[in-house]
Structure 1
Amino acid sequence: MESRSFDIIIAGAGASGLSLLWYLLHSEDRALRNKQILLADRQLSVIRDKTWCFWDGRFLPFEDLIHHSWKSLEVRAFGNTFTGTLSDYSYHCVKSDDYTARIFQLAREAGNVTLLEADILGFADAGGKAEMETSKGTFTAEMIFQSALKPPGLSTMKLDISLKQHFAGWHITSEKPVFDPEISTLMDFDVPQQSGVSFVYVLPFSRHDALVEYTIFSEELISDEGYAHGIESYIRERLELDSSQYKTIYTEKGTIPMEDRSYPARYCDNVWNIGTMGGLTKPSTGYTFTRIHRRNAEIAAALEAGKQPPDAAASPYRFRVYDMMLLYNLHHHPEISVTIFHELFRKNSFDNILGFLEEKTKFPQELKIFSSLPWKPFFKSIYALKHRIATGA
């Protein structure tokens, strides 16, 4: 079994770990750029297993890795279609294999990065340093940033609602030109709502190919056959393609936590939680990509200044309350939730909605948005969650 010391260990080679590595390698501080770094994960192969979507690209390391962008979005619900052209934002997607390959290449060229393919078993404080136990040995560093394991203090955090955003997607190519590559379907709720709040989103890359993703907000996952049935039905009924008219060239599947609890900032002394394990997933939407890049830029800036990284700042109180209210309705009143989404996109611009979801709006804008929605479900959620709202959410 191996035993080595490094300056910094990054445990987990998903978007959060890789983006942190990028910021460290591109630091303006020469000493930080030259620190010995270990990047560890159970597998370090370049595979396409995710498509990351976002609409605020200011913190994206590589703009050229954006696979496709859209200025127009549409949402469908109850037989109605709402379309909007973005002015403040563009909606982007990045393929995980493009992103991973680029940063792995930089890591191999850097000369100060060691890649370790091993199971990550745990972390511990080691007398002023941090220790990582793996299936291939124990490694120490001045600090560890981890996105691989659930923090041990997670179970003690306040929790009222815990849902999953689970999904499966097929990248298909069709013989017929059925897609408009200028318009992305953000949410199509005109699908069966049997297992929880369900929708399909479509990312069209050309007239002939697109990613079709079936998504559900619920406590329980469904079977692989259930996802396949949802996607096949949508392709057949909405896109009017039978199985002989398209080919599936790639599939993906995932689960994202949607919870109203805070995540501990640290696993233990000198071990920081990052990414989803650091609580950076937006509870009510599941969006994480932009938030982790913003956080990792903050970590790198602190290290450049010779300081320990500050704990990640929680969302402002009012946004935590908004998230809890929406989660409550998604959990307890899924049928009302679709109505809420219908009214949200019917009465508000897409730019304002995306700004609200990115927590960039001011209270008067938020009041205007909430005034456009059915008020009874939110008052009921406030009453049901008053014990949390009154104590800081």
Structure 2
Amino acid sequence: MDNVDLAVVGGGGAGSLVLAALDRHDLRGLRIAVVDPVRKRGQDRTWAFWGTPGTDLEPMLSASWRQVEVTTPAGRRRLDLAPLRYAMLRSAPVYERAAEAERRLGATRVDAAVGALDDDGGPVTVRDADGAALLQARWVLDSRPRPPRRAGRTSWLQHFRGWWLESPGPVFDPGRAVLMDFRTPQPARGVSFGYVLPVSDRYALVEYTEFSPRRLTDAGYDTALRGYADLLGLDLTALRVREVEDGVIPMTDAPFEGRPSPRVVRLGTAGGATRPSTGFTFSAMHRQADDVARALAAGRAPVPRPAYPRRHLWMDAVALRALDRGAVGGPEFFDRLFDRNPAQRVLRFLDGATTPAEDLAVMRSSPLLPMTSAVVGDAVGRLRARLRPGPAPAPVGVAPDRAGQAGS
């Protein structure tokens, strides 16, 4: 049985970013193992995020935009993001770079599904699904989907379907992405919107998304996408659907346990990287990977910082409660958010990077009475949860990070 310094369990987005960060920080002296039954490759998901140009991700981007649109029933708003930009990253180059990093680091590959991680204070024993020991590791980074530590007071899903559409002639504007378009029919309980990420004037990802408690049927997603294409004035008979992307991401105020035992660290959604109010994940996942690599390079425990400040998680819990109880409508909520704040402040808030003073400005832009009621309700819910803790929820199925609004 192999003994290693670090076992990376799960080779998806979070695991791939970790491998790239370890290579970038030149950690070739570590004994590393990657444990996953599937060797990820190809285009199986799309991530989108914002930030400043010039990071290690730049060579892999499919597209980026300095301007985006947000459309509500009140009108269309064009937002200039400078000095930030919105960027699209597809999975193939991420997996390719991770494979190269794995080779350069001299990592051991174990093609097996992981069952238990036995952490008894010494090296962690990584076991397969049948309980047989695969290896022992000083530290384990685990990015497999896991349920939260306990049930949340509000538990929604971000679920979506997108079509990669190709046109024989120019129909898209490659200089501007559609971030949120709330002209879609709104569900009885939840929020829906469409968006468009153009790679060129003839090729774009067009997607329909809902924030709501339950998924739609396949026919429901296709109907919604056809309706959104009609709103955009697209003639689907003249377009070719090159690829289809589906996914579901948890949106919940339930706490995810980032360090379930002394030498096991969770990353990605299981490690709290998903923003509860939006489903955004990629930027936090990227930060986690860099934190891990920097810590190991400095001889410290590979434990990343919390993905988001506590005050942001509280604000997310309040917003989710207000939306879930129907105290505020989704299009109204986001319209006020972008109308009363600079675009850069909104995006940095959603990324967990705003100051307390900026957070207060964001709070003031929300409807006062409904949100005050949600604050009181959230406080009562927290007290009840402490007095009568509920059972842990069943595992949440997490599919690819949604392009534009999430990440895994």
- Tell whether the 8 Å contact from 1:259 to 1:283 is kept in structure 2 after alignment: yes
The residue identity in structure 2 corresponding to 1:26 is R
Deviates more, 1:207-216 or 1:260-269: 260-269
Query: 2:92 aligns to what?
Result: 97
Q: Is the 8 A contact 1:49 1:253 kept in 2?
A: no
What secondary structure is seen at the aligned counterpart in 2 of 1:309? Answer: coil
The correspondence for 1:141, drawn from 132, 137, 140, is: 137
Partner secondary structure for residue 268 of structure 1 = coil
CA distance in 2, matches of 1:342, 1:71: 20
**Which residue number in structure 2 is paired with residue 38 of structure 1?**
33
Report what 1:25 is aligned to. 23
| Contact 2:6 2:138 (C-alpha < 8 Å) held by counterparts | yes
Q: Deviations over 1:328-374 (max 9, x none)?
A: 12322186222111222223221121122122223333333333332
- The letter for the 2-side match of 1:147 is S
Deviates most, 280-289 or 295-304: 295-304
Matched, 1:63 2:58: yes
**Unaligned residue ranges in structure 2 (runs of 5+):** 387-408
Asked if the contact 1:72–1:85 (Cα under 8 Å) also holds between the matched residues in 2, the reply is yes
The alpha-carbon deviation at position 216 of structure 1 amounts to 0.6
Contact kept in structure 2, 1:22 and 1:61, CA below 8 Å? no
Maintained 8 Å contact 2:207/2:225? yes
- In the TM superposition, what whole-angstrom CA distance separates every residue of 1:183-204 from its partner, at most 9, and x where no partner exists? 1100011001126211111101
* 1:50 aligned onto 2:45: yes
- Asked if structure 1 preserves the Cα contact closer than 8 Å seen for 2:115 and 2:129, the reply is yes
Indicate the residue corresponding to 2:154 in structure 1: 161
| Distance in 1 (alpha carbons) for counterparts of 2:54 and 2:263 | 25
Percentage of identical aligned residues: 31
- Does residue 75 in structure 1 map to residue 70 in structure 2? yes
Classify 1:391/1:89 alpha carbon distance in 2 versus 1 (closer, same or farther; 3 Å).
farther
The CA RMSD measured in Å over matched residues stands at: 2.4
The superposition leaves residues 52-73 of structure 1 with CA deviations (integer Å, 9 ceiling, x where unpaired) of 1111257953310011000001
Match of 2:377 among 364, 378, 384: 384
Over 3 Å counting, the alpha-carbon distance change for 1:217 and 1:71 in structure 2 is same
Change (3 A) 1:91 1:129: same
Aligned to 1:256: 249
197, 203, 207: which is aligned to 1:203? 197
- TM-score, normalising length from structure 2? 0.87
SS in 1 for 2:126: strand
2:136 aligned partner, one-letter code: T
Within 1, Cα distance between the matches of 2:55 and 2:163? 25
| Correspondence for 2:82 | 87
8 Å CA contact 2:121–2:262 kept in 1: the answer is no
Report the count of equivalent residues: 383
* 1:289-309 deviation digits (Å, cap 9, x = unpaired): 111121222222221222213
Separation (CA, whole Å) in 2 of partners of 1:229 and 1:334? 28
Aligned equivalents of 2:382, 2:52: Cα separation in 1:
32
AA matched with 2:142:
Q
Q: Deviations over 1:160-195 (max 9, x none)?
A: 111111111111012342211111100011001126
Tell me the CA shift for residue 139 of structure 1.
1.9
Residue matched to 1:186: 179
Q: Does 1:300 align with 2:278?
A: no
1:97-149 superposed Cα distances (whole Å, 9 cap, x missing partner) = 121122213323x1611223322222111550112222595221111100114
Name the CA distance, whole Å, in 1 between partners of 2:54 and 2:280.
Answer: 15
How far apart in 1 are the matches of 2:42 and 2:274? 22
Matching residue of 2:324: 331
CA–CA separation in structure 2 for the residues paired with 1:388 and 1:315: 21
One-letter code aligned to 2:173: D
Residue 405 (structure 2) aligns with: none
2:14 to 13, 16, 38: 16
Residue segments in structure 1 that go unaligned for 5+ positions in a row: none
Per-residue displacement from partner, 1:256-303 (whole Å, max 9, x unpaired)? 111112211223331111111111111111111111121222222221
Q: Do the aligned residues in 2 keep the contact of 1:123 with 1:267 (CA within 8 Å)?
A: no
Q: SS state of the match for residue 260, structure 2?
A: strand
Of 195-204 and 124-133, more deviation after overlay is shown by 124-133
With normalisation by structure 1, the TM-score equals 0.90
- For the Cα contact (< 8 Å) 1:79–1:190, is it kept in 2? no
The separation in 1 between residues aligned to 2:3 and 2:310, in whole angstroms, is 40
In the alignment, the residues of structure 2 paired with residue 334 and residue 207 of structure 1 have an alpha-carbon distance, to the nearest angstrom, of 40
Aligned partner of 1:220 in structure 2 is 214
Contact 1:124/1:268 (8 A) holds in 2: no
Q: Is the 8 A contact 1:336 1:377 kept in 2?
A: no
Give 3-state SS (helix, strand or coil) of 2:273's partner. coil
